[in-house]
Amino acid sequence: MKKDLLSIADLNRKEIEHLIEQAWRMKQEGTSPLLSGRTLALLFEKPSLRTRVSFEIAMYQLGGYGIYLSPEGVGLGKREPAADVARVLSRYVDVIVARTFSHKTLQFIAGHSSVPVINALSDLEHPCQALSDLFTIYEKKGRLPGLTLAFIGDGNNVANSLLLSACLVGMNFHFASPPGYDMKEEVLNQGREFAALSGSQIRLTNDPYEAAKDADIIYTDVWASMGQEAEAEKRRLAFSGYQVDNKLLSLAKGDVLLMHPLPAHHGEEISAGLLDDPRSVVFDQAENRLHLQKALLVELLSNPKVSGK
């Protein structure tokens, strides 16, 4: 049976902790060609820097090969139906890493693929980012349970995956956004279910300073994600009081970590120059995408190849 990673909820706490342990070991010790002869397809509808490069390099360092399929080259759902693309790629490659506008497209690809499908970002979730973030926090703090992560900004795909992953591993999650930019109720309900089991606490507020108080991690992201460019000015006005700056960071714990998934709009969601602050681990986050994704690829491809390929 193949295993997909479409949502962070496809993993349990033990599996997340195992991936973090493996990523830590690979980062410290390096990697051997565990996936020699295996092939990865990057099927992208959106532009990418970190996700594309980290997956391609991860597969290369593991002894395999990655091929990038651009939006223009495939025309997913336009030039060719997504179902046909998934079925054809399943005959060629061992894993599909898909970056789509709609989460439903991602689910459709996974439903017609006989090889594992990894969510490299959809409008609903960004699980690879969240896993790498947890790894970075563990690397810096030495633990996850009991820590408090405060997300300041939009209830977007990154926030969704962070909420679910935090509640799975026993971290508290504070979320501050302007009215109308809250997290989806179905994501919150799922997070509350996980929190009831792990002991996490979820706090929702419209006050960014309340969310930041005594936090171990302050996290922010762009106010307008890819596909929301037409709303950029409207969102800029709505989020004008939600910039992460030194004043907001001063309310958190003294050893607070500052996180951002990049790309950043300097002077908007984060004040200019703050990415270079000693409290910032933003570029460690970016590096750790490589190590966590190596662990993920090894885990998903650890079983023998699907017969008939």
Report pLDDT digits (tens) over 130-176. 999 999 999 999 999 999 999 999 999 999 999 999 999 999 999 99
Where do runs of H (alpha helix) occur along 199-245?
Answer: 208-212, 232-238
Is it the case that residue 35 has pLDDT exceeding 90?
A: yes
Please report whether residue 308 resides in a domain: no
Q: Could you tell me if 133 and 114 lie in one domain?
A: no
The structure's pTM equals 0.95
Q: Could you tell me if 86 and 151 lie in one domain?
A: no
Please tell me the predicted confidence (pLDDT) of residue 305: 42
Residues 49, 76: Cα–Cα separation, whole Å: 20
Please tell me the predicted confidence (pLDDT) of residue 211: 98
Where do runs of H (alpha helix) occur along 36-184?
Answer: 50-61, 71-74, 82-92, 103-112, 127-141, 157-169
45-56 pLDDT, tens digit per residue, is 988 999 999 999
Q: Could you tell me if 184 and 116 lie in one domain?
A: no
**Percent of the chain topping pLDDT 90:** 89
Q: Are strands 65-69 and 117-119 parallel, antiparallel or unpaired?
A: unpaired
Q: Could you tell me if 137 and 271 lie in one domain?
A: yes
Average pLDDT over residues 14-43: 97
Q: How far is CA 227 from the centre of its chain?
A: 17
Confidence band for 231, pLDDT divided at 50, 70 and 90: confident
Please tell me the predicted confidence (pLDDT) of residue 308: 31
Is it the case that residue 25 has pLDDT exceeding 50?
A: yes
Q: Could you tell me if 132 and 154 lie in one domain?
A: yes
Please tell me the predicted confidence (pLDDT) of residue 1: 66
Q: Could you tell me if 92 and 218 lie in one domain?
A: no
Q: Could you tell me if 137 and 267 lie in one domain?
A: yes
Is it the case that residue 92 has pLDDT exceeding 70?
A: yes
Please report whether residue 242 resides in a domain: yes
Please report whether residue 309 resides in a domain: no
Is it the case that residue 304 has pLDDT exceeding 90?
A: no
Please tell me the predicted confidence (pLDDT) of residue 90: 97
Q: Could you tell me if 50 and 88 lie in one domain?
A: yes
Please report whether residue 1 resides in a domain: no
Q: Could you tell me if 145 and 168 lie in one domain?
A: yes
What is the rounded average pLDDT for all residues in the chain? Answer: 95
Q: Could you tell me if 175 and 59 lie in one domain?
A: no
Q: Could you tell me if 206 and 117 lie in one domain?
A: no
Is it the case that residue 303 has pLDDT exceeding 70?
A: no
Q: Are 16 and 130 in contact (CB under 8 A)?
A: no
Q: Could you tell me if 251 and 162 lie in one domain?
A: yes
Please tell me the predicted confidence (pLDDT) of residue 65: 97
Please report whether residue 213 resides in a domain: yes
Q: Give residue 278's domain range.
A: 127-286
How many domains in the chain? 2
**CATH code of 200's domain:** 3.40.50.1370
